[in-house]
Structure 1
């Protein structure tokens, strides 16, 4: 039985690739697919045809098929790379007509990391996710990213699943999650009785404020483990926890202590995650 795929966009391949200083990908073109390169950290130079521009952290670069491109890194860099095929001519024409690079708002970065992680988990355990759900999600992020007019509010933390961003208490905790936050402090800051604040917040989110804060911290800590090489002690400190408490809560939630959780994802660095059986990726990295 043939699996359904998205009718407008087929995601072919993805990978997290860490580049050393001075490495580069030489000029080349793709004849039958397009590519999105997301720079999570680092910097360098990128060319589109005859145009050269700076490659910056937190930016995404779109290489459409038939357009010569290359990039080189002037510092240690971490990237997410997506290769896909557009079946919708109008969508392809639209992408070809707009600026091929864009600043990733925090919501876009969170979503792109999500599609990469879902692809990795699907590759490790086929059937865990439907390929079409990954493709449709990636397509939505791609359109939003490239068509963004700056109206999306960015911040230090935006994550899928947290939909209560209009709530001032939620917004405050997302902005200050690394600081010491107690129920008493929240009550005083927002002028609510503690019992009323808990009820008001629970009615909106299904959690108490402190439970919600723990979720924010845990998701951010996992992201640091997954996409940075920060020491575990520093990761814990950056989300407002001690290392011992961080290890305890992460093991309770995932079954793995921080070092093993990180290793389970780091062994995928530089590996092809192929989502289309007939797709073969050709590497052109020059150290």
Structure 2
């Protein structure tokens, strides 16, 4: 996937929050029919039985093992098979970031089929238990289970890069992010970024932050420091070379890098290579044991 689109999606996930209102496992009566236009997302995992789901002009046959993300705001009709009881895990949640709905933005499929349905069912059980918990850590457990469920769904559902290219706000920001990546070694002015998006600088700052989650200057600093990390992981680049490559003086890079990671650039490099060597030795030891 294109780097700029990957950056946008990763920043969306970084800011993502799902407000879970209900989670349960239920069995329907044979032949039941349910119609509604919910204001929240529905997450379903079909465990047993079958039926049919109509959403707008689309019709889906439901089978055990399917994981479904049913969007809000559309007329939905669920019908169970005449002679079958449908058993399903489900939850209701709300999720949006700024003025844009992430799931609508990514054009995600309604239904996916995980290769490990038992794992997904286990995550739903964790979510249900957390929702009924009275522990102080209840919200953390809800968030943990929900995020794992969403990660499973997204990994099996995939992303449509073509739909991202057709989205006008993302197309504007795409040019800006590409410009930033190509100019990290030099000055990057808000006015130049705004010009690429055909927006006034004052409006551009809020527009950029709504999509990316950072103000433009914050994002540029973040990308400089991430690029510095990548360069420091190589053994052939001096600290001065790294500083020049990300448009910073040595002392400023050291100060900002330590603020960002808690380590000086030289200490980061040392720890990175120590960790890589340790993991390689551990992998070799495991291979030899086999």
TM-score band by shorter chain is 0.3 to 0.5
Please tell me whether Structure 1 or Structure 2 has the larger radius of gyration of its CA atoms: 2
Give TM-score, length-normalised by structure 1. Answer: 0.44
Say which structure is richer in helix.
2
TM (normalized to structure 2)?
Answer: 0.43
